[in-house]
Amino acid sequence: YDTVCRFIDFLRHPPASNKYESIKELLRRSFGMNESERAAKLLHMTGLGDRTPSQLMDEGERQTSVEFQCCDLMPYSPTVVETVSINFDDFNESFLTCSTCLYPFDANNRKPKLLSCSHTVCCTCLGAIADLPRPSESGSIRCPICREVVAIPRGGILALPPSFMVNQLIDLLNGRKRDLIPKCPLHSNEELLFCETCDNVFCPSCCETNECQNHTVVPFSIAIKRMSEIMLYKANQCIKTLNKAAGNVQRELKLLEQSVESVTVDIDNAFSELNKIVEQRKTQLLQLVSGVKEAKGQILQDQLNIIQLEKMKIEMECIDFQKELNVRTLTRYIGALNEKLDSSLSLMEPRENSFVCFERESGVSRDSASLVEGILLSFGSVTVSKTFPMLCVADVAPATKNLLCSVLLTTVDYEGLRRNTGGDPVRALLSCLHPEATEKDLKTPVDVIDNGDGTYELTYVPKNAGFHRMEVTIFDRVIKNSPLFIDVSPHNNALWQYSGSNKGDSQDGSESLLQPVRVAVFDQSISILDTGHNCLKVLNPEGVIVRLITGTSLADQSAVGLAIGKLSNNALVTLNWRSKLVTEWTWQGEEVKTFTFSEFVEPIDLTIDPDGRIIVLDNGRAKVFVFDRGARPLFSFPLQKSNCSPQSGGRQNSYASCFGFTCVTVGPNRDILVGGCEVQIYSHGGTFLFSFPVESATNVCLQPVVVGGLAVDLEDKLVLATVTNRKSSCVMIFNYDGTIANQIDSFNSKLRRPSGICTVHDRCCLVADLGNNCVKKYRYK
């Protein structure tokens, strides 16, 4: 193989020598001894042994493959790359053609035979030579090329060895595609060129314009070859894709078979249970019929036995009295028979009857068969789906750490029409891509909610900020835009904000807020205690003021408490710390009643529990006072001394102690929660239960903190607290045992002294920001 390769390279680039020097002499000088002999045999086989390099070059056709950066008519010289290739017809004529008859070798009559002199002659020519009369050379022939004597084997010409090299070359050329070189019909020596930019074929001799200037021009033969390769590549890609599609369809067919088998088993089990119930009922009824038969039969049999006994007794007495001759005795016996005849009339009627009937539906309907049929027709169903996963898309909503987030999946069928029914087996897998995420947080559970209209809500609660990857599948096949990449924000910003008409700190602003300290919600109406403007503003869900409540109980910028509870038609209740008045208001802004209490010193907040009790927190007394619906005092209890953070001392402790207790609310089981620099929890009777601090482990350096307002999510038992310290403010969400569940930092719009807080629907809360004179809405879970 190495010799053949070197030989071909030698033919392409022969060494410089006298043009009359033969190829054999050149081979002897260019190859080693053994290689030279093998190359000489190759030359004998191909008939090139006595040719000179110039003769060899005349037999080949020099072809030039030129890649132009512009047309060859340009004033500057293009870049030219030359390659030398042997013409196929010349190569076939020189190497694969019999030198005697000039016919090409084939596998039939003109098989190439290798002679002992290394020349190759076709089998037909050798047969003709062998048939010539040669009296002096019987059993041998002479080579028609070199005239050397060649012995004929016993099997004749056909027994001569085949020319292996020529056969290999024939097979090689037959298996190779022939590259066609298109020529110009007017200029046979000019190869057609192809402009890739213009997509145009032209002859450089025929073209007289410079339209292809600065274009990429290649020989048309190379362009055809490239396009053929591209076509084959694309065809292979299509075949691979179709093979993959066929595999997917076959796999789906197998899954269909498995699903059908599973459903068949489920149907058999379901109806087996029904059949079991039917058989049990049938057995019960048959047993009941058998019992009725035995009971009725026993009664009738007893009556029949009595009749037989009486009959036998009368027959025996008749036999005895037939011999009696005393008339009086016979008369008495006849009287006795008359009495028995009268008494036997009671045995004429059977004491039991034979009536036994089967009622399909006792006392309800005669059409019970149709009722059972209707129930059976509605029993069970076979659910199928036309959903096509590759056309289904999912829309990602903004996601925030520790909040319930969602992705809306919309399903469509194969025709691209939106589905209007649910029931698809949707699965979702959410993984955190943050490098510092713990193994526990790498996988986040996703709940699938079927809306029943062809859409599905995929809900999850991310525990880490950063990018997450969600894979969504239907029938274990990915949807169109899966996987989804979700950027979870670490900041919880306000969804909505109300600050009025921005009239500044005007004391008579009818829409703006000035020092809002409390906020409450009832029946989608938002009530804001605007202490700076001495009024109570009621807003609709769109944030438009629908009512403005004023009165003496709200005067002197001293109103600090607001609650809504079960008093008289869910009335509003306010507290004024300066006048120490607790006032009940109607929703129309009319005062219902006002009361105070002699032990009030500094009432700071109030709330109403589910029983309608009014609970007032007095910071001056450090006590909580409880009143009934009629404002009659029930009891009071002292508060525990606050345990501020031991890590804070001196000046910071004085900062915390100057606030004392600030807010009160009602928790689960009617517990009473009191806020200050910690949250204290008391039973509904005033017994201290436990307390927990409100500082965050990440903000210990900013302690102590003060709670401005409290609210409780009774459904999930969460405690919401507005927290303020010297440098920052936020909303902390605690579990009921005091562990931190979440935090609202309001990164884009910082809170300044948040005070009142209340929960609303959709996992949201409203916060009265005293420092910014506004009310903000946040998601807290």
> Which tens digits make up the pLDDT trace of 224-244?
888 888 888 999 999 999 999
User: Residue 537 CB: number of other CB atoms within 10 A?
Assistant: 24
pLDDT value at residue 227: 83
46 burial (CB, 10 Å; 0-12 / 13-18 / 19+) is: buried
What's the token pair of residue 444?
């986040």
CA-to-CA dists, residue 552 to 61, 545, 563, angstroms: 116, 21, 18
Residue type, 160: L
Q: How far apart are CA 261 and CA 251, in angstroms?
A: 15
Position 112 scores a pLDDT of: 92
Per-state percent for the chain, helix, strand, coil, to nearest 5: 30, 30, 45
Distances (CA, A) of 371 to 283, 361, 367, 380, 650: 21, 10, 7, 16, 83
Residues 6+ apart with CB under 8 A from 692: 678, 679, 734, 737, 738
Up-side HSE of residue 208: CA atoms within 13 Å toward CB? Answer: 1
DSSP state of 412: B
Task: Give the full edge-to-edge strand order of the sheet including 764-769.
Answer: 496-498, 774-779, 764-769, 754-760
pLDDT at 511: 80
Q: What is the pLDDT of residue 58?
A: 46
Peptide bond into 425 cis (omega under 30): no
Q: Which residues contact 745 (CB under 8 A, 6 or more apart)?
A: 491, 492, 730
Average model confidence (pLDDT) for the chain?
Answer: 80
**Which stretches of the chain score pLDDT less than 50?**
1-4, 12, 16-22, 24, 26-27, 29-36, 38-39, 41-50, 52-83, 502-507, 645-658, 697, 700-702
Whole-angstrom distance, CA of residue 725 vs CA of residue 111: 105
Rounded to 5 degrees, φ, ψ at 55 are -70, -40
Distance CA 422, CA 406 (A): 18
Of 490, 578, 498, the closest CA to residue 537 belongs to 498
Residue 366: predicted pLDDT: 59
Helices H / strands E in the chain, number of each? 12, 43
Q: What stretch of H or E contains 520?
A: strand 516-522
pLDDT number for residue 74 = 36
Output the pLDDT for position 136.
63
For residue 239, which amino acid is it? Answer: I
Q: What does the pLDDT look like over 138-197, one tens digit per residue?
A: 788 889 999 898 888 888 888 899 988 888 888 877 766 555 667 777 777 777 888 877
Nearest alpha-carbon partner for 553 in 589, 584, 528, 581: 581
Give the pLDDT of residue 325.
Answer: 66
Q: Which long-range contacts (CB under 8 A, 24 or more apart) does 685-690 make?
A: 685/635, 686/624, 686/626, 686/635, 686/636, 686/637, 687/637, 688/640, 690/738
> For residues 96 and 170, is the Cβ–Cβ distance under 8 A?
yes
Amino acid identity, position 78: P
The C-alpha atoms of residue 326 and residue 155 are separated, in whole angstroms, by: 154
Using a cut of 0.85, tell me whether the model's pTM lies above it. no
